[in-house]
């Protein structure tokens, strides 16, 4: 059933291009118009929405953090992202004009379920993004957009995460479409870019041998840090989470701009630091800033592992290890940049003798609060 792979996790990493394509299937037509019939929340209601609140846990929360960038950019509707386990305890401000997006692979996560129940009690509409047909979270929501990742067996989430991202982009674009934001042309371009993205993920998967070798060579390390800016920040958090849960290592993700406010004190000789670099095209300010962050940590002895777009030559002199990903629009980069981090964690954990499909102390769905 592992289809020749050493673990379900490796199999599920390899299935990501298909999972992405399946999640897009039938939802975008040839002219770049989205049709999300499942989202049964009427267009009039979506037009009145004045706030989006995303609630989720763990990896799904990281998808939510990325959703915020897309939703605010494409719709100009304010978006908050909150850990489901914290949400209802702080008396969040919600009403009929709030759209709550609950993201969950299993559809059974108790923290997320309790958050959405609380949201509905306050009159908010709840849209679930879920991978499991007929599970509790979609049943209790006003509408559901299913991710089509197929069953995810490995405890650590991989293909579900990428399809959650796709679903978040679709929701953001759909909101933009329904509300007729001034970014209509950009939306059509992104729809086109999204339809090519599964090929880009396939390309990343074909170039993972050096990442595997690097991971094995770092198996004796105690700490790995991850840095990113903009949507690269949640990618860094996700890379660190994968390494914690699979390799049982100290791994932390930071916003690169925060380095100088404390974390840079952690940098010491030969400490591996993974840096997710945004595209040099478009938001070039972001790119320049991260190049100087890489220089700062390297000057202090860090071993830099740089994930950067093909053709980005500016980072090359500062990268001890350079991992190339295909060029994508900035907002979509997490779909390609996360893949090397999944492979890295899986290989490093295996090299440490860990059981990657069943990490210690973890369960696939967390049905207690």
Binding site for ligand F6R (CB under 6 A): 57-60, 104-106, 109, 112, 156-157, 241, 245, 365-366
Distances (CA, A) of 197 to 162, 193, 325, 326: 11, 6, 12, 9
Q: What are phi and psi of 68, to 5 degrees?
A: -55, -45
The burial of 365, by beta-carbon neighbours within 10 Å (0-12 exposed, 13-18 middle, 19 or more buried), is given as middle
Which lies closer to ligand F6R via its Cβ, residue 245 or residue 312?
245
| Cβ atoms of residues 237 and 253 within 8 Å | yes
Question: From the CB of 369, what's the least distance to ligand F6R, in Å?
Answer: 12
Least separation, in Å, of the C-beta of 200 and ligand F6R? Answer: 22
Among residues 58 and 232, whose Cβ is nearest to ligand F6R? 58
Q: Which is nearer to ligand F6R, 171 or 294 (CB)?
A: 171
Q: Shortest approach of ligand F6R to residue 65 CB, angstroms?
A: 13
List of residues 6+ apart from 20 with CB closer than 8 A: 162, 163, 166, 197, 198, 201, 335
Q: Which is nearer to ligand F6R, 156 or 225 (CB)?
A: 156
- Based on CB atoms, which residue is closest to ligand F6R, 59 or 279? 59
* Minimum distance, C-beta of residue 26 to ligand F6R, in the bound complex (Å): 23
364 catalytically annotated: yes
Catalytic residue, chosen from 2, 18, 289, 364, is 364
Nearest distance from residue 82's CB to ligand F6R, in Å? Answer: 14
Active-site residue set: 364
């Amino acid at each position: 059933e592992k289809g020749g792979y050493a673990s379900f996790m490796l199999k599920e990493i390899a299935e990501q291009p298909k999972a992405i394509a399946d999640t897009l299937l039938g939802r975008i037509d040839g002219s770049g118009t989205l049709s999300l019939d499942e989202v049964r929340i009427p267009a009039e209601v979506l037009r009145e929405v004045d706030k989006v609140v995303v609630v989720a846990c763990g990896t799904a929360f990281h998808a939510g953090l990325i959703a915020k960038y897309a939703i605010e950019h494409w719709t100009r509707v304010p978006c908050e992202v909150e850990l489901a386990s914290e949400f209802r305890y702080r008396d969040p401000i919600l009403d009929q004009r709030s759209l709550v997006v609950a993201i969950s692979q299993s559809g059974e996560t108790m923290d997320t379920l309790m958050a959405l129940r609380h949201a509905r009690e306050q009159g908010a509409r709840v849209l679930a993004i879920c991978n499991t047909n007929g599970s509790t979270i979609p049943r209790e929501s006003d509408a559901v957009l299913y991710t089509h990742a197929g069953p995810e067996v490995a405890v650590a989430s991989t293909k579900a995460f990428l399809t959650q991202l796709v679903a978040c982009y679709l929701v953001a674009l759909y909101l933009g479409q329904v509300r007729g934001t001034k970014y209509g042309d950009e939306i059509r371009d992104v729809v086109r870019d999204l339809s090519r993205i599964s090929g880009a993920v396939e390309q990343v998967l074909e170039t993972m041998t050096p990442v595997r070798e690097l991971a094995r060579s770092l198996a004796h390390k105690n700490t790995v840090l991850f840095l990113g800016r903009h949507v690269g920040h949640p990618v860094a958090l996700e890379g660190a989470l994968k390494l914690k849960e699979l390799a049982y290592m100290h791994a932390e993700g930071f916003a690169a701009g925060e380095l100088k406010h404390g974390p840079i004190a952690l940098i010491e000789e030969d400490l591996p630091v993974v840096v997710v670099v945004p595209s040099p095209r478009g938001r070039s300010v972001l790119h320049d800033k991260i190049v100087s962050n890489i220089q700062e940590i390297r000057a202090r002895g860090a071993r830099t592992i740089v994930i950067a777009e093909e053709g980005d030559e500016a980072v090359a002199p500062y990268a001890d290890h350079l991992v190339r990903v295909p060029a994508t629009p900035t907002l979509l980069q997490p779909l390609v940049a996360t893949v090397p981090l999944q492979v890295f964690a899986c290989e490093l954990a295996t090299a440490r003798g860990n059981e990657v499909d069943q990490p210690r102390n973890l369960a696939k769905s967390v049905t207690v609060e």
